[in-house]
Amino acid sequence: MSQSAVAVSAPGKVLLAGGYLVLDRKYNGLVFGLDARIHVCVKPFASSSGVTFSEITVNSPQFQNAVWEYGYRLADQDGGVKVTQLRVNADLKLNRNPFVETALAYALSYISSVGSSNISPSSITILADNDYYSTSSAELTGARFHDFGVPLAEANKTGLGSSAALVTAFTAAVLSYYLPQDVFDPTTEVGKRKLHNLAQAAHCAAQGKVGSGFDVASAVYGSCLYRRFSPSILSAHGEPGSPEFGKELVDIVNESGVNGQWDTEIIKDQVKVPSGIRLIMCDVSCGSQTPGMVKQVLAWRKDTGAEAEKVWEGLQNVNEELAQELVRLAENGSKDYSRLKQRIQAIRQGIREMSKQSGVPIEPPAQTKLLDACSNVEGVIGGVVPGAGGYDAVALLIEDRDEVVQKLQKVLSGWKVEGETEGSMGKVSMLGVKQEMSGVRVEQASHYAEWSE
């Protein structure tokens, strides 16, 4: 175990192509990592006096009352580690964070099963780069990490994949702190594979065993072409504390159980960004109900069979062509983006067809209007509503020049998007993020000292 502090960060993501398709193993998704990261620092901590079992505190200092204290104990019958949130004050309602709690229980269960079951108390600090949350309520002080001045539940997310980046960075930091480097090292391919499998298991459990896992994959590996794992890999194991959970989890993470190898495909060399091109994210502050949209699209697909399949196949083909064109441009250095523009237009056409047939606002008219206006700016190659679509955000590929950014900002200033609930209007703001090819990263713990006191 490391007696000194450790820190790890993981990037956010944008699913540029493959929304909905990525839920099915027949299809893949083009995922870009983003340079907005979630940072997690773990250091030693003395247990509070009077506490009869070990304690781990987790703090997110950018938000009000974002402190979680956990007791933990080794469960009987190889049940892994059972984590219990402690009530700081008898009068206060428990403020639960399912992603932190689940990631901690899964990480400690894995550690106790492959390393030492003598887990000492520690203090964990979580910090988010500023672009993860809309900063309208925060004072822009130029600080590296803003104080958002609100409880976490009231903060407006910008949709960059904060929960997946959090679970990935959190899992990597806790494992790096408690396990020797020869057992877990996130800088190696073997270490990344273990991290991917454990973070997928924890994230999937925390959000109710739904989702394709592309967001965790990009948090670990960065930008990639992603094909999901078979859901059966994660559907059979119990919960932390249930008999044999520890063994089941080790089998899943180390790929040594009945299910054996994970069948996920993460292909790095099929995703490239040509020099001279930059990805831009724009936050639209009126939002969509993503789970409801996904349910509706999948119901339409099931009901219409071959008709829906034709739309999915068409989208898969143009998505793959987009990835291939980006690689071609990156390798030959060409600045002719005409084919790239055509690919993006074809994707949007396919998405609008899916919207029309399913009755789900994947690229709603308000977003069509916004994307068309952005695409008409000189130097903008094109854009899409990423992921599940709706009113959350748009992603643009632009020529990486200051004047293009300035022209875009001029178009966006004062632009309002009409949301799906009556009377809701959202302002559009350009985030400072750009594409990030690398995934999880070990950081210098000393860089976070002033926030992790």
Contacts of 6 (CB under 8 A, 6+ apart): 41, 42, 43, 173, 176, 177, 442, 445
pLDDT at 144: 87
Identify the CA nearest to 437 among candidates 29, 33, 16, 14.
33
Domain residue spans in the chain? Answer: 6-268+438-448, 277-434
Q: Which residue has the tokens 């063994």?
A: 247
Confidence of residue 46 (pLDDT cuts 50, 70, 90): low
Confidence of residue 414 (pLDDT cuts 50, 70, 90): confident
CATH T-level fold of 277-434: Alpha-Beta Plaits (3.30.70)
Q: What is the 3-state secondary structure (H, E, C) of the chain?
A: CCCCCEEEEEEEEEEEECCCHHHCCCCCEEEEEEEEEEEEEEEECCCCCCCCCCEEEEECCCCECCEEEEEEEECCCCCCEEEEECCCCCCCCCCCCHHHHHHHHHHHHHHHHHCCCCCCCEEEEEEECHHHECCCCCCCCCCCCCCCCCEHHHCCECCCCHHHHHHHHHHHHHHHHHCCCCCCCCCCHHHHHHHHHHHHHHHHHHCCCCCCCHHHHHHHHCCEEEECCCCHHHHCCCCCCCCCHHHHHHHHHHCCCCCCCCCCEEECCCCCCCCCEEEEEEEECCCCCHHHHHHHHHHHHHHHCHHHHHHHHHHHHHHHHHHHHHHHHHHHCCCCCHHHHHHHHHHHHHHHHHHHHHCCCCCCHHHHHHHHHHHCCCCEEEEECCCCCCCCEEEEEEECCHHHHHHHHHHHCCCEEECCCCCCEEEEEECCCCEECCCCEEECHHHHCCCCC
- Phi, psi for residue 212 in degrees, rounded to 5: -95, -20
- In this predicted model, what pLDDT tens digit does every residue of 188-242 receive, in sequence order? 999 999 999 999 999 999 988 778 999 999 999 999 999 999 998 998 788 999 9
- pLDDT > 90 fraction of the chain, expressed in percent and rounded: 72
323 DSSP β-pair partners: none
**Rounded CA Rg of the chain:** 22
Residue 49 pLDDT > 60: no
Residue 329 pLDDT > 50: yes
C-alpha torsion sign, points 412, 218, 122, 69: positive
Confidence of residue 145 (pLDDT cuts 50, 70, 90): very high
Q: Which residue has the tokens 């068309």?
A: 372
CATH T-level fold of 6-268+438-448: Ribosomal Protein S5; domain 2 (3.30.230)
pLDDT at 237: 85
Residue 138 pLDDT > 70: no
Residue 1 pLDDT > 50: no
Identify the CA nearest to 69 among candidates 83, 57, 59.
57
Please give the Cα distance from 325 to 319 (Å, whole number): 10
First to last CA, the chain: 21
Please give the Cα distance from 346 to 319 (Å, whole number): 9
In this prediction the pTM is 0.94
pLDDT at 287: 59
Mean pLDDT of 438-451: 95
Neighbours of 238 (CB within 10 A): 13
- Stretch among 66-75, 123-132, 211-220, 411-420 having the lowest mean pLDDT: 411-420
Using a 10 angstrom Cβ sphere, with 0-12 exposed, 13-18 middle and 19 or more buried, the burial of residue 40 is buried
Please give the Cα distance from 203 to 168 (Å, whole number): 8
Confidence of residue 259 (pLDDT cuts 50, 70, 90): low
- In this predicted model, what pLDDT tens digit does every residue of 3-20 receive, in sequence order? 789 999 999 999 999 999
Q: Are 308 and 21 spatial neighbours (Cβ–Cβ below 8 Å)?
A: no
* β-pair type (393-399, 265-267): unpaired
Q: Are 296 and 388 spatial neighbours (Cβ–Cβ below 8 Å)?
A: no
Please give the Cα distance from 365 to 25 (Å, whole number): 30
Residue 51 pLDDT > 70: no
